[in-house]
Structure 1
């Protein structure tokens, strides 16, 4: 601090000298100006040099005069009898003063050098280097009183002590030190000192230091009178200790953290913002928003924190506003997607989860927010957005679509369901989305809502066609299994008297025998299916996955047959005789004993899926694959 004061004094002296010497206007100097410059050069410059470097020169002059004592003749002059001893004492005092000054100057230089080395090693910025110097002074003062004082001190404990102070300057100094040490230990160099990270966690994150963390969280509030530098550093510290934060223990904690997401009027990148006496850049403002949404995402890992967040009124609107930020979306898409959209959509999905739905304000806010729905739709339609982010957006939109209280109208629902159909059946977004789209369609087909109506009315024939395509190669086992689940849900829960239901009745009656023959294996020859009960494919192999998918498909088809048959027969007695006729024809064509349709379904439900062994499992051990089969 003393070095900084001396620098400021020198700077003020220089400015005063220039102010006196030079005119204040930008006109030519002229005669008066030339006189001023001359006076400044002859008189003020020597005075300035004397003030700045006098103490450096005086000890050398004193030493020279002590060595060469040519003080003149004093013999016979009683008034000068004591002149020589007096001059010796005077020059000795001046020399001693100079030695002390040089010692103090060299000591201050070494002190600043030590501070500079420590600051460079830990990455302290210019604003934080004064805090390192203050720490060194505290150590010196403490050691003067007690030589063992430094044994129990380090910069971490010093920062913790400063952050318990009521002095704003000391508190800021502690925040600067702690923020710098956290960033250092998070880097590649700091990772080699795990003891420091552990000490930081034990000192700041402990229960005894809970007030420090609570104060830091409350300083994040954008309405607080704190300097923006403190907010910027506090948000980095809070992010580091986020796993130790319990929102129910901090007054207005979630409101303070969510205020980091507040959008401010757009400024040019080179135009800094000025608040509370501290100028911050737009980049720093964006950094606080990014860290804010990351803090919220990490907080939501805790169930109790998630419950509190789910009942915060304006949280969703702030997240959606960030996601809808066109400036970032258009100019820095990859960074926007990684830093804002990915955690933002994950947060929205967690707010929509079943575990938080009870007394969940945000569930209703999301379902009734046109901005949220529009943001999620834009993510799905964006060609540059990440695959995982799109999948999260699809899941959230499916939940909103299923919610009858949402603001999503029938047209939007129909458009969304149509996009799911395209993803599922036509791979409009690529093969990585078809299974997810099918699973969401199966969920939307439950119940009596408008989603089930749209699927039944618009896409029921597509589902029947998908299930019935056994040999086209267009749809695989997963496609057909999901389509069978959709039809089962529609027939199991929907009103059978509905007009659209009646329109599909004949198609379903034609589909059931075909599906049942497939499950029973009556419609395929031995060349299509080889049953080798003793062979089981190894786990993790592609063949094992195929057998598993085929097994799931057969279970889904058998369940579909049972659901549709029971629903139709129970509501229309005339159909029972028709199904019995169908069963009789099936048994006759397959040369099987006569059975009822219900018995055939029961047999299908109990039937194991076929195995598809590799080529080596279908031959005997002594069979030569190159030997001709015709003798």
Structure 2
């Protein structure tokens, strides 16, 4: 029997949480724990007891096959599908003969039915080429619109060229002296108006000038159409029948006026279609929403559309069909123009944050070494004019650094760590309330947090001048910061993220880890800042938890244990958290972590043991009482053992009853 949600429910959740599926049989069971996170579905735990029968073995193989498929899937939507396959196997114990393709077909059919019925949510199959192409190209309608406009423009231009040649060669060249004054002036006026209109292109300018040029073009096209239609309706070109030299003048004029009328009508149709799609159809706005762009995305899309339009005009009308916003943005990021770089950075920022297009965009970025170098270099641009570009570039680099497969593309660039470190030096919390600066700090810490998963990266962080002190500086708090309700959330987030980076660094293995722990503990503000968090951070248990974990990591070094113990009230605050009756509920994890920290600090440290035992005579009794609680027994046992081993003879009387209480 299955006790879990099905694949549809799993897809709809799409957020943090756990989905546990249990398959029960008379003598056997298989338990699969799926960890559903913001961007992926991982197998957190699989318990596989020995299968005794052929049916149990087959069942095991089915689940194992789906687990292999889940492990090999890279995209979030595909991993959700694989997770759904596991749930299908577990939820249908009587249908062990069903193949994977059968289940996949059934599930895809349910998904298609749901989409047709207007159901919300749900993930599409990422390996479906048509669906992926449609999802990855929200700008496709813009390129198609540019194609249609270019066809009308080229048709009008071709007809206009033919009319101009006909007027200059045939009419004004062959019949110039034979034309009536009225026709001569009409032909000359039409040629001059159309020639002037072709010279001034409103698409190349914007604002009031562009609006004026567009209005003049519409007036000129309307005038040409009116003049041509007027002469075609009148059909009065003089007495041409009695003079053989004037016999072809009428058809020649009809052809010219007809060409001029067609050209003017094509131009007016083009402008009407343009205005209808852009102004009334809201094509740019619809594409902006589909791409997930902000308000400034209209500028990027307008630039993309004009590029596609001019590409169709200057070459084949089909050239723009191969254009996409990602390639467009990559090209602009490497431009020498500040405005073009800003447009490209905006597009990449929006796409790496978009659920549907993030993976494809990141893949495209990392294949261009020049683009990655430019993005990393942008992190160090400190000019106020480059502030927005820098912010977008930092967001993209943070996304690249968050992928273990691509992080080497970032950190492998010479000077990358210095550029990343420059994000930490933007703005001061006390002097500036502009959250843009905090965004730089947060992004810099986020990048460092991702990089600190690797020992080599931790070595670079340590070797980069000024990085560690700046990270520790962000852990600084105050009573008002931790206790007042009006404090902006971004300040707390900044402290939390810096604590996470420090925690990763002190947890580093090997020689690099030892050097990092020494350097962090040598910074007098590191332990002091954590002490302030433990003292005033009752309203922020997550910060207290991180601070205690950092102390536990630092305590792996003997010199660090001595420095922590000599910092006033640190051990007292840890002991308060460990023995606090409030910690028996939701804050049980803090109690356990505080106990582990005290156990580490008292290892081979007589002075730290003395700090604990001199608090009060009841402290040992309180610690011993924790042995009766399963959640705290291990931590309490470790601490009591260390107190007995390293406290010294002066505390023997106080520890006399501990040995009998310890579990054997």
Query: What TM-score, normalized by structure 1, do the two folds share?
Result: 0.58
- Any conservation in 1 of the 2:613–2:619 contact (CA below 8 Å)? no
Shift of 1:468: 6.4
Does the C-alpha gap of structure 1 residues 236 and 56 become closer, same or farther in structure 2, counting only changes over 3 Å? farther
Shift of 1:477: 6.1
- Any conservation in 1 of the 2:445–2:497 contact (CA below 8 Å)? yes
Give the SS at the match of 1:554.
coil
Which of 216, 221, 228 is residue 55 of structure 1 equivalent to? Answer: 221
Deviations 1:503-554 (A, max 9, x none): x334445x27xx54x7xxxxxxxxxxxxxxxxxxxxxxxxxxxxxxxxxx52
- Any conservation in 1 of the 2:417–2:461 contact (CA below 8 Å)? yes
Does the C-alpha gap of structure 1 residues 394 and 508 become closer, same or farther in structure 2, counting only changes over 3 Å? closer
Shift of 1:267: 10
Q: Distance in 2 between matches of 1:264 and 1:257?
A: 15
Deviations 1:40-86 (A, max 9, x none): xxxxxxxx98677343344124313432467999999xxx9999999
Structure 1: which 5+ runs fail to align? 15-47, 191-195, 272-281, 519-552, 556-631
- Any conservation in 1 of the 2:446–2:497 contact (CA below 8 Å)? yes
User: Would you say 1:314 and 2:483 are equivalent positions?
Assistant: no
Q: Which residue of 2 aligns with 1:40?
A: none
Q: Which residue of 2 aligns with 1:397?
A: 551
Shift of 1:104: 4.5
- Any conservation in 2 of the 1:306–1:356 contact (CA below 8 Å)? no
- Any conservation in 1 of the 2:574–2:594 contact (CA below 8 Å)? yes
- Any conservation in 2 of the 1:143–1:150 contact (CA below 8 Å)? no
User: Would you say 1:219 and 2:371 are equivalent positions?
Assistant: no
Which of 292, 298, 304 is residue 132 of structure 1 equivalent to? Answer: 304
Q: Distance in 2 between matches of 1:250 and 1:322?
A: 26
Shift of 1:309: 1.8
Q: Which residue of 2 aligns with 1:486?
A: 639
User: Would you say 1:380 and 2:534 are equivalent positions?
Assistant: yes
Which of 508, 530, 554 is residue 663 of structure 2 equivalent to? Answer: 554
Q: Which residue of 2 aligns with 1:415?
A: 569
How large is the Cα RMSD of the aligned pairs?
4.7
Which of 174, 179, 200 is residue 361 of structure 2 equivalent to? Answer: 200
Aligned residues: 450
Which of 412, 424, 435 is residue 261 of structure 1 equivalent to? Answer: 424
Deviations 1:152-208 (A, max 9, x none): 65333444455455666655444343333333x32xxx3xxxxx54433432234xx
Q: Which residue of 2 aligns with 1:451?
A: 608
Shift of 1:399: 5.1
Q: Distance in 1 between matches of 2:561 and 2:577?
A: 24
Q: Which residue of 1 aligns with 2:324?
A: 154
Q: Distance in 1 between matches of 2:326 and 2:622?
A: 65
Does the C-alpha gap of structure 1 residues 430 and 261 become closer, same or farther in structure 2, counting only changes over 3 Å? farther
Q: How does 1:466-477 map to 2 (within 5 A)?
A: 466=622, 476=629
- Any conservation in 2 of the 1:404–1:449 contact (CA below 8 Å)? no
Q: Distance in 1 between matches of 2:339 and 2:513?
A: 44
Shift of 1:220: 0.8
Q: Distance in 2 between matches of 1:219 and 1:294?
A: 17
Does the C-alpha gap of structure 1 residues 394 and 199 become closer, same or farther in structure 2, counting only changes over 3 Å? closer
Shift of 1:462: 3.7
Q: Distance in 2 between matches of 1:212 and 1:167?
A: 15
Q: Distance in 2 between matches of 1:482 and 1:108?
A: 72
Q: Distance in 1 between matches of 2:472 and 2:642?
A: 34
Q: Distance in 2 between matches of 1:480 and 1:117?
A: 60
User: Would you say 1:286 and 2:448 are equivalent positions?
Assistant: no
Does the C-alpha gap of structure 1 residues 435 and 197 become closer, same or farther in structure 2, counting only changes over 3 Å? closer
Does the C-alpha gap of structure 1 residues 485 and 91 become closer, same or farther in structure 2, counting only changes over 3 Å? closer
Does the C-alpha gap of structure 1 residues 116 and 291 become closer, same or farther in structure 2, counting only changes over 3 Å? same
From the CA coordinates, give the structure whose radius of gyration is larger. 1
- Any conservation in 2 of the 1:293–1:343 contact (CA below 8 Å)? yes
Q: Which residue of 2 aligns with 1:424?
A: 578
Shift of 1:348: 0.7
User: Would you say 1:245 and 2:245 are equivalent positions?
Assistant: no
Does the C-alpha gap of structure 1 residues 362 and 474 become closer, same or farther in structure 2, counting only changes over 3 Å? closer
Deviations 1:290-323 (A, max 9, x none): 2222222122223322232233332233334444
Q: Distance in 2 between matches of 1:434 and 1:304?
A: 33
Does the C-alpha gap of structure 1 residues 131 and 295 become closer, same or farther in structure 2, counting only changes over 3 Å? farther
Q: Distance in 1 between matches of 2:526 and 2:259?
A: 81
Structure 2: which 5+ runs fail to align? 1-145, 147-200
Query: What TM-score, normalized by structure 2, do the two folds share?
Result: 0.56
Does the C-alpha gap of structure 1 residues 267 and 58 become closer, same or farther in structure 2, counting only changes over 3 Å? farther
Does the C-alpha gap of structure 1 residues 152 and 486 become closer, same or farther in structure 2, counting only changes over 3 Å? same
Shift of 1:237: 1.6
- Any conservation in 2 of the 1:351–1:362 contact (CA below 8 Å)? yes
- Any conservation in 1 of the 2:203–2:210 contact (CA below 8 Å)? no
- Any conservation in 2 of the 1:66–1:91 contact (CA below 8 Å)? yes
